[in-house]
Structures are given as structure tokens and as C-alpha cells.
């Protein structure tokens, strides 16, 4: 059982890290009241997983006999017995939609107004009319790629929550960025031009609060991108993906 739990946990971690640098029990309200399977399955999986993986909810999918299992900020799938699990994406090829992606977007939605933006490094390009928040580690290669992507875009305001999770050096660099007189310049010089921060690191910083916030929001890797409609995109999305997302947000 221990090996099974460890294997499952590893699988979930790998899925979370696939495009990024690096879980209360309940039955979702939209599950059919006539079908007792979600409640029974949730209880069975909780016993099987123990404390290793937190089962938050189990719901029916459009596929007969297949159930969605919400574990933390991720989704896995199970048959009605809990014997067979798979960790992957559920696609509707007829509709051309990614059902897993859509559900994750709903499950992990946040309230933009709850973000403490004063704890973030803010920079503006163009008229700054489109806002985006990013949890970023200074030593994360995907985060550097995302910063390069922002260079291709216009009319954006980026709120970067320094989120040092990769190494002690990440913490040092994050402190140096926050303590700088021009945080935006020092941050972008490092992320885009590889000019290492060299200034003081002894000022008061929001790093501990950022780490706590990330944990609360289920941020398990960097970069983690949040939009004003509360949805998120994990990993280093390209400019076309970000532009489509911005276009989909109702003003």
C-alpha cells in the first residue's frame, strides 16, 4: 500500500511539473442524488490513499462508468470501484474540447480581488489595461521563458508574486529583487538579460506571505498564471494562448 501511495503521489507531481518548475472529503453538488457511487467511491479512495493524497470530491463524467476525482488542485479518473485509476486528460473529440482542462479551470478558480497585489512586483507595458498575476521563482527556466513571452505582448500589467521554491538561492535573489530601489528593473534584468541581482537582501519582504498564499491557492509549481476572471494557466503559456485567454474574459 505504501508503494502504491508513493507511486500515485509521484505521478501527480510529475503531471503538475510537466510544464512548470517545482492535497476534506466531499461529493460535488452537481453529482446525481440518485447515484450513490460518488460518495462510496470517495470514501473508498480516502481509505486507500490514507494521508498521502487528499480526495476533495468525486463526480460523474459524461463517460458512463468513469468518475472524476479531485485531488488537491488536480484531477484523476477512476472506475466505479476505485480499482482502476488513470492520470491524464479527458477529451471530447466531437466537440473539440478538453474536459479536464475546463473542469480544472472551474475547480481552481480564485477571486481576483482577494489577491494582495501590494505583495507583487508590478510592471506595466502600453496602456496596462489587461492584468495578469504570476507566481514566479527567479531560478525557474519556464518563468524566464514566460518573461520573454511578455516582451511580445502589449497593453498588459503584470503582477509578479516572488515565489522562491526551488533553492536557497531563489530566496536570496527574491529578497534582492524586493529590496532593490527599482524592483522591476532588477527583476527583468535577471529574468530576461541574466544580469544577476547584487544588492541588499535584508529589508522586510512579503516572501513568507507569498509562499503561504501560494499554498492556499494550490500553487504547486512555477510559473502559475492567474487572470482577472479567476482562472489560471499553469506553466509557461505562449503569447497566442495568453492572447486567446485575454480575449475570452468578459469586460
CA atoms within 13 A on the CB side of 66: 15
pLDDT for 87-129, tens place per residue?
889 999 998 888 888 888 788 789 999 999 999 999 999 999 9
Q: Cell numbers for 27, please give them.
A: 461529493
Q: Cis before residue 223, ω within 30 degrees of 0?
A: yes
DSSP output for 79-131: -TTSS-EE-S--EETTTTEEHHHHHHHHHT---GGGS-GGGSEEEEETT--EE
Give the count of alpha carbons within 13 A of 73, CB side only. 21
The average pLDDT across 139-143 equals 96
pLDDT at 119: 97
- pLDDT tier, 149 (very low <50, low <70, confident <90, very high otherwise): very high
pLDDT of residue 5: 53
Give residues with Cβ within 8 angstroms of 123, minimum separation 6.
Answer: 157, 158, 160, 184, 187, 188
pTM: 0.72
Residue spans per domain, the chain: 2-107, 112-248
Q: What is the mean pLDDT of the chain?
A: 86
Residue 25: per-residue pLDDT: 39
Superfamily of domain 2-107: Disulphide bond isomerase, DsbC/G, N-terminal (3.10.450.70)
- Residue 32: what pLDDT? 45
Crossing angle for the helix pair 141-151 and 183-193, nearest 10 degrees?
A: 110
Residue 164 DSSP one-character state: -
Instruction: Estimate to the nearest angstrom the gap between the alpha carbon of 17 and the chain centroid.
Output: 10
Q: Does domain 112-248 have CATH number 3.40.30.10?
A: yes
pLDDT of 30 reads 45
pLDDT tens digit sequence for 16-69: 444 456 533 344 434 444 677 889 999 989 888 887 788 888 999 999 999 999
Give dist(CA 83, CA 81) in Å, integer.
Answer: 5
Report the chain's terminal Cα–Cα distance, integer Å. 50
Q: Would 2-107 and 112-248 be classified into the same CATH topology?
A: no
Under a CB-based contact definition with an 8 Å cutoff, are residues 18 and 221 in contact? no
Q: Using CA atoms, how far apart are residues 223 and 135, in angstroms rounded to an integer?
A: 5
Residue 251 has pLDDT above 70, yes or no: no
**71: three-class secondary structure by DSSP:** strand
pLDDT tens-place string over residues 172-227: 999 999 999 999 999 999 999 999 998 888 899 999 999 999 998 888 889 999 99
Amino acid at each position: 500500500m505504501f508503494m502504491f501511495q508513493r507511486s500515485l503521489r509521484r505521478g501527480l507531481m510529475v503531471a503538475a511539473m510537466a510544464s512548470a518548475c517545482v492535497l476534506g472529503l466531499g461529493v460535488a453538488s452537481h453529482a446525481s442524488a440518485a447515484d450513490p457511487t460518488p460518495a462510496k467511491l470517495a470514501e473508498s479512495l480516502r481509505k486507500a490513499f490514507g494521508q498521502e493524497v487528499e480526495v476533495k470530491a468525486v463526480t460523474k463524467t459524461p463517460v458512463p462508468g468513469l468518475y472524476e476525482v479531485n485531488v488537491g488542485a488536480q484531477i484523476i479518473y477512476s472506475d466505479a470501484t476505485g480499482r482502476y485509476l488513470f492520470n491524464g486528460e479527458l477529451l471530447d473529440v466531437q466537440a473539440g474540447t478538453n474536459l479536464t482542462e475546463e473542469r480544472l479551470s472551474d475547480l481552481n478558480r480564485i477571486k481576483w480581488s482577494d489577491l494582495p497585489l501590494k505583495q507583487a512586483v508590478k510592471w506595466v507595458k502600453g496602456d496596462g489595461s489587461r492584468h495578469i498575476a504570476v507566481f514566479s521563482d527567479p531560478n525557474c527556466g519556464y518563468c524566464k521563458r514566460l518573461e520573454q513571452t511578455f516582451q511580445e505582448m502589449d497593453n498588459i500589467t503584470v503582477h509578479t508574486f516572488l515565489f522562491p521554491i526551488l533553492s536557497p538561492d531563489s530566496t536570496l535573489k527574491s529578497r534582492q529583487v524586493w529590496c532593490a530601489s527599482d524592483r522591476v528593473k532588477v527583476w527583468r534584468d535577471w529574468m530576461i538579460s541574466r544580469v544577476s541581482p547584487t544588492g541588499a537582501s535584508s529589508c522586510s519582504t512579503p516572501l513568507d506571505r507569498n509562499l503561504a498564499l501560494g499554498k492556499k491557492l494550490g500553487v504547486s509549481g512555477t510559473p502559475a498564471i492567474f487572470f482577472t476572471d479567476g482562472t489560471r494557466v499553469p506553466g509557461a503559456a505562449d503569447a497566442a494562448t495568453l492572447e486567446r485567454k485575454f480575449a475570452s474574459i468578459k469586460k
